[in-house]
A and B are shown apart, each in its own frame.
Chain A
Amino acid sequence: MSPPTIQTHDRAPDPAANPSLNRGREAPAALNPYLPPLFITLILLAGNLSFGILEGWSKTLLAIATAIAAEMALGHIFLHKWPHPASAYISGISVGILLRSPAFWPFALCSLLSITSKYALRFRGRHIWNPSNFGICAMLYLASQSVASLSIQWGNNFAALLVIWVLGSIIVWRARRFNITLTYVVCFIAFSFVRAHIVGDPWQSEVAPITGPMYQLFIFFMLTDPKTTVRSRMGQCFVAGAIAALEFLFRLDSSIYAPLYALFWVGPSALLIEMWIDSRRPGALSTSAIPNQKAARA
C-alpha cells in the first residue's frame, strides 16, 4: 500500500536512476509531500487508540524500522546517496496495518520483501510491483501458516467507514487518481450483483467486503500508487476495471485475498503492456524517452 503521493518522494530516490522514467505521469505537485505519511500515521494512531487495531506497537514499529533500514541500505548501495525515508515509512506502516500475525518475524520479512522487491524485480529500470502489495502477497502465498491480512478492524461501523471514505477521497482526488478509485468501486459493485446471481448468495454478502474499512485502505491507497499505475487516465480506468474483473474471478474461486492477488497480477502486467506499447511507438527509444508535456510545463 503506497499512497499516491509517495511519488513525490519515491521518485527521487528511485533506483531506476533515470528521472525520465517518470515523465508522462501526472505529477501531484499540489499535494504536500508530507501529507500522505502524516495521513496514514493518523489512521494508525486513531485506529489503534480508539479500537486497538494493533496487538501492540512493537510489530508495527518493527515493520517500519525494517522498511526504512532496508531502503537506506539498498538506496545507498544503488544510488550512492541516502534516500528519503517517506516511501519506506509508508510501506512499513502499510505492512504494520495490513499484515496480521502473532509472530514478529513476518513483519520484518514482509517489509524486507516489499523494499527489496523494488530493487530486485525491475524491468527496463522500473520496479513494476507495488512494494507492499508484493510483500503482503508473497507472505500470503508463502507463509500462509503464519500470517493473514485484511483482518476485521475498526469496528465494522459507519463512523470509521465515513472517515476513511472522506479523507481517502480527498487525498486521491488531489493526487488526480480518483478516477481509479471510482472505476474500481463501480466495477466491484457491478460484479457483486453478477456474483450474487451466479452463486445464489445474498447480494449484501457479496458487497460486504467493500464496506469494510481495511478494504477501503486498499481501494484508496494501494490501487492508486503512482509508481505502479499506468500513465493515461483511460488506461488507469481500464486497469482498475481489469483488477476488479480478475478479483471477480478469484472470488468465484473463493479466494479470500482476491483484491490483493488481483492487483498483484494485473498491476505489473499493465505496466509491462504499457512499456511494450511505448517501445513500439515510432521514434521511441524507450519508455523513458516519451516526453511528458505536463512535467515539462511544470
Chain B
Amino acid sequence: MKKVSTARILVTVFFAGLLAVPWMVQHFSRAEKTAPNPDAKAALARYGFSLEEVSHAAGIDFVHQAPTLDAKLDGIMPEVASMGAAVSIVDYNRDGWPDIYVTNSAIGSKNHLYRNNHDGTFTDVAEQMGIADVNKPGTGVSMGAVWGDYDNDGYEDLFLIKWGRPELFHNDQGHGFTRVSEQAGLPPWINANTAVWFDYDGDGKLDLFVGGYYPEDVDLWHLRNTRMMPDSFEYANNGGRKYLFHNLGNGHFEEVSAKVGIDSRRWALACAAADLRGTGHPDLFIANDYGVSELYLNDGGHFHEAGKETGVGFAPKSGMNVAFGDIFDQGKLSIYVSNISEEGVLIQGNNLWVPQTGSALKYDNMARDLGVELGGWSFGAQFGDLNNDGNLDLYLVNGYISLDRQRSYWYDFAKVAGGNSSIIGDAANWPAFNGRSLSGYQQKHVWLNDGAGRFLDVAQAVGATDTYDGRSVALADLWNTGALDVVVANQRGPLLVYKNTVAPGNDWIEFSLEGTKSNRSAIGAQIMLYWDGKEQLQQVSGGNGFASQNDRRVHFGLGKNPAIEKAVIRWPSGTEQTLDHLTPDRLYTVKEP
C-alpha cells in the first residue's frame, strides 16, 4: 500500500512536470530572440548591418491599392482581394543602376517604374514609359511583374502578371515600352499570381511560365456565380491552368505546357526555376496554395513532376513563395517555401528544403532545425547576404489582413475551411469579414545565417520593424555600395525601401552577366564562387520569391580579408567560364565567351 502511495506521488509529480514542459519550451525558445529597437550602431556592431527605411527620402511615396471585385464577394472582399502588391528590380535603361517596378491593383490605379537617379533618389517614369496605366476597366489588374530580354536586344522586357489580360511590353531601348501581348500570342485572360522567365529548352531564347490561381474562365469583376473558391483547403484541384509559352524567336510564343508535361490545376502562388540536378536544364518549382508543391524536373525540354519522389510535394500546405539559396556554402541550392503559422490555430510551418547528399534528388525539410520555420502568415522571402559575412540570410515578409486589431476572422475561417467541398467552394457560404483582421499586424523576420546551421531573427534589432501586410520582397544593391538593400511591397500599404548599411570590414563581389549564345539576360546562369575554402552557388533569376524578382546582378558577401580563388560561370548554353584573379569589392561585368 505504501509502495502504491509513493508511486502515486511520483506519478503526480511527473504529471505536473509534463504540464510544465510547454512553458519551458516557450521560455527557452524566446531566449533566442533578439532585443528590439537598439540603435543602428548597436545593430552594426552586433550583427554587421542595419536597415533604414528611406522610401520617402528617396522620392518614393507609393501606397498600394487593392482590387475591388464583384459585389457578390463583398462580404469576404479583404480575403479574395488580398494580393497584388508586388515589386521587381530591373535596370530597364542599362545605366548600371537598378530601377524598381511596383504594381498597383485597383481598377484605374497606376503601376510605377522608379528610375534610379544615381543620387539616392528615384523618379517615377512609368507614365512616360507607357507601363503605368495597365489596370484599365475590363482588362483586370496587376498582380506582379517579371523582366526578361525575350528578343535578346539587350533591354529587359516586361511581362505583367494579372488577374485579367496578361500583358507583354517590349522595351524600346530604354526609351519606352510597346505593348505586344496580341502579337506574342498571349491568351485573353489569366488569373495568375506568378510567372517566371527561363529558357527551358536551351535554345538561347527566354520562355515564359505562368501559373494560374483562379480558373481562367472566371472574371472576378463579373462573376456568373460565387462558386469560384478552392474546393479544399489542402487538396484543391480546381484552380487556374498552367501555361508554358515557348519563345519562337520572332516575337511569337507558342503555348506548350501540355506538350512538355506540365498539367496542373492547383492554385499556384509562386514559382521559380533553377537547374537543381546539374543536368544543364532548368527545373521548375511551383508553390501552390491549398495543396502540395510541385517540382517539374526538366529532362531536356520535357518535364516530369517529381514532388513526391523528391519529398517536397507530399504534405499539403499553403505555398506562397519559392526562393533558392545555397545556405551552407556547399554548392547546392536549398528551397524556401512560405506557408501559414498562426499560434493555436494552424501551424503549417514554412519549409526549407535542403537537398540530401547522394545521387538522387531528395530533400529534407530543415526549417525547424535551422530556425526559419515559424513566420506567421508568410508571403515573400528572399535569400541574400545582408551583412556580407559569406552566408546567405533570409528576409521574410508576412501578415495577411490587418484591419481591426481587436477582432479576428480566424474562427470563421477555420470553421468553413474544414467543411465539405460543396461548402468551402462557394463564396456565398463564407461569413462576412466585417472589418476583422486575419493574421494581421505581424512582425517581419530577418533571419541571419550564422554559418553554423542556425538562423537568428534580428528583424527588430536591425530596423525591419514595420507591420504592414507584406507580400513581395526584392533584394538589390540599389545604390551600388556593395550592400543588398531591401524593397518590400505591402498590400494596401506603402512601398518600403530599406537601405542597408554594412559594417566596415566584410567584403563583397558582384557579377553582371550578359549572354551571347545563351539568352542575353543570362537568366539561368549559375555562378560558383570559391573563396577561403568555401564555395557558394548563386544564379541569375527570371523571377522568384512571391511575385517578385531580385536584381539580375549577383551579389556575394565574402567576410573579412577574403582570398578569392575563382568564380566558375555555367551559362545556360552549357559553356563554362572560369574567372581568376578576382578582387573583392568590385562589380564584374562578364560577357559569355
Contact = CB atoms under 8 A, between A and B. Distances in A.
Nearest to A150: B418
B92 to A, nearest CB: 41
Given A109-B22, A146-B25, A148-B345, A205 B431 contact: yes
Given A146-B22, A202-B431, A211-B419, A55 B233 contact: no
B21 interface: yes
A102 B367 contact: yes
A157 B232 contact: yes
Contacts of B4: 78
A117 B15 contact: yes
A150 B14 CA distance: 28
B154 to A, nearest CB: 46
B424 A208 contact: yes
Contacts of B18: 109, 112-113, 116
B31 interface: no
Contacts of B424: 156, 208
A51 B422 CA distance: 18
Q: What bracket does the count of chain B residues touching chain A fall in?
A: 35 or more
Given A100-B347, A143-B22, A209-B415, A116 B15 contact: yes
Interface string B391-428: 00000000000000000101110111111111110101
B314 A151 contact: no
Interface in A186-222: 199, 201-202, 204-209, 211-212, 214-215
Contact of A145 (B11, B343, B420): B343
A158 interface: yes
B429 A156 contact: no
Nearest to B434: A200
A173 interface: no
Contacts of A54: 315
A30 interface: no
B414 A139 contact: no
Contact of A156 (B14, B412, B414, B421): B421
Contacts of A56: 314-315
B281 to A, nearest CB: 28
B291 to A, nearest CB: 10
A209 B419 contact: yes
A69 interface: no
A103 B21 CA distance: 14
A141 to B, nearest CB: 9
B348 A51 contact: no
A109 B18 CA distance: 7
A116 B420 contact: no
Contact of A77 (B7, B367, B422): B7
Nearest to B410: A256
A163 to B, nearest CB: 14
A208 B11 contact: no
Contacts of A292: none
B292 interface: yes
Q: Which of A56, A138, A145, A147 has the most CB of B within 10 A?
A: A145
Contacts of B417: 152
Contact of B420 (A120, A142, A143, A211): A211
B380 to A, nearest CB: 21
Contacts of A215: 418
A205 B416 contact: yes
B19 A142 contact: yes
B418 A155 contact: no
Nearest to B30: A145
A179 interface: no
A201 B76 CA distance: 12
Interface in B308-354: 314-316, 343-349
A164 B420 CA distance: 13
Nearest to B428: A202
A13 B373 CA distance: 41
A21 interface: no
B561 interface: no
Q: Which of B231, B349, B367, B414 has the most CB of A within 10 A?
A: B414
B412 A201 contact: yes
Given A102-B349, A144-B343, A208 B416 contact: yes
Interface in A215-253: 215, 251
A109 B14 CA distance: 12
A152 B418 contact: yes
A243 to B, nearest CB: 17
A229 to B, nearest CB: 23
A185 to B, nearest CB: 15
A156 B235 contact: yes
Contacts of A260: none
A103 to B, nearest CB: 6
A109 B21 contact: yes
Given A120-B15, A208-B420, A147 B347 contact: yes
B511 interface: no
A109 B432 CA distance: 38
B542 to A, nearest CB: 31
Contacts of A279: none
A156 B14 CA distance: 40
A34 interface: no
B250 interface: no
Given A55-B315, A153-B234, A212 B12 contact: no
B430 interface: yes
B368 A208 contact: no
B26 interface: yes
Contacts of A145: 26, 343-344
Interface of B: 4, 7-8, 11-12, 14-15, 18-19, 21-23, 25-26, 231-235, 292, 314-316, 343-349, 367-368, 373, 408, 410-412, 414-424, 426, 428-432
5 contacts: A101-B347, A117-B15, A212-B419, A212-B420, A251-B415
Interface of A: 51-52, 54-56, 74, 77-78, 100-103, 105, 109, 112-113, 116-117, 119-121, 138-140, 142-148, 150-153, 155-158, 161, 199, 201-202, 204-209, 211-212, 214-215, 251, 254-256
